[in-house]
Amino acid sequence: MLNIFSLNKQAKKRQVSNPKFITEADEIYKMLKHICDEQIPLVINWENNAQEETTYLLKVGTELFIIDRLGDPLLHESLLVEGNIKVQAKVHGVNVTFNVNIPDCSPEANHSYYKAPLPEKIYNPQRRGRFRATIPEGHKIPFIAKYGLDEIALTGELLDLTADGLAIMLDSRVFARKGERIKSCTISPPNGHVITFDIEIRSTRPCERNEQMMRVGAQIVDPNRKTLKQLRKVVLSLEELELKRKKERAKM
C-alpha cells in the first residue's frame, strides 16, 4: 500500500531529450509542492469536456498527490469516467503543463478529492530544466571570479540560481561573450559556505535593476557531486526565504 507522504528513496531519475521537460522525481515533487503551497489554480480539461475547469492541489507527497473535487456533480462524474486529465498552472508567469491519470475511478463512489500518482514529466517552457530560485529582496549573495588571460577580478551579485545554472549582475563594462568559460567562480550564500565552480556564459543583456550593469546568464560546467549538493541546498533555502516573505506580505 502506498503511503502518500513516505519518502520514495528508490525513485529513479527519468531523462528525456527535451530540456523543457522536468523529469527528475525530486524536481517534479518540488514543482507540485510549490503549486500546492502557493495555492496556484489548476486549469484542467479532459476529452469529454470541451471547457476548462479550475481546481487546486490539496496535498503533495513524494509518490501521490491530491486534487480538490470539482463542485459540479456532472463535471465530477464526467472526470471520473474519463480518468485522464490535462493540467495547467501558471508558475512565475510560465504555464507549466502535465497529464494526470486518476486510477480506480468510479462515478458511484463518494469522492471528496482525486488522488493520483505524480506525473512522469512536467512541461516547463523555461530554458532551464530545473526550478529557478530568485534571490529575495534584501538578500545579497556576492559573486566573485577572475576573467580572461589577465585574470581580471570580477565582482557581482547573484540574481537567481538553479542546480545547474545561474544569472548574475555584473558591471556592463566587462566584455563577456556567449560561449566563454569563466573558471573558479565563487558565491557566498548566507550559510557561510563558499561554493566554487566553473561557468559557461549563455546570454548577456542590460540589467533591469541598474542600467550600469548587465545580466549574465550562465550554465554551471561539470559540477561534482559535492557542488551539486551545495547548490541544491542554496536553492531550497532561497525558496524558503521567498515563501516566508510572501506570507509576511499577505499578513499586512
pLDDT at residue 247 greater than cutoff 50: yes
- pLDDT, residue 246, reads 67
- Confidence band for 147, pLDDT divided at 50, 70 and 90: confident
pLDDT at residue 76 greater than cutoff 80: yes
Lowest-pLDDT choice from 41-45, 93-97, 103-107, 172-176? 103-107
User: What is the DSSP annotation of 51-79?
Assistant: EEEEE-EEEE-SSEEEEEPPSSHHHHHHH
Lowest-pLDDT choice from 1-5, 78-82, 201-205? 1-5
- pLDDT, residue 3, reads 42
> Could you tell me how far CA 20 lies from the centroid of its own chain?
12
- pLDDT, residue 15, reads 39
SS3 assignment, position 92: coil
CATH topology of domain 21-123: Pnp Oxidase; Chain A (2.30.110)
Lowest-pLDDT choice from 80-94, 117-131, 214-228? 117-131
The phi and psi torsions of 104 (rounded to 5 degrees) equal: 50, 45
pLDDT digits 0-9 by tens, 107-118: 555 667 888 899
CATH topology of domain 133-251: Thrombin, subunit H (2.40.10)
- pLDDT, residue 150, reads 74
Q: From CA 42, how far away is CA 35, in angstroms rounded?
A: 9
pLDDT at residue 63 greater than cutoff 60: yes
Annotated domain spans of the chain: 21-123, 133-251
- pLDDT, residue 117, reads 92
pLDDT digits 0-9 by tens, 183-242: 899 998 876 689 999 999 988 888 776 777 888 889 899 888 888 888 888 887 877 777
Q: Do the Cβ atoms of 63 and 117 come closer than 8 Å?
A: yes
* Residue 8 grid cell: 520514495
Confidence (pTM)? 0.48
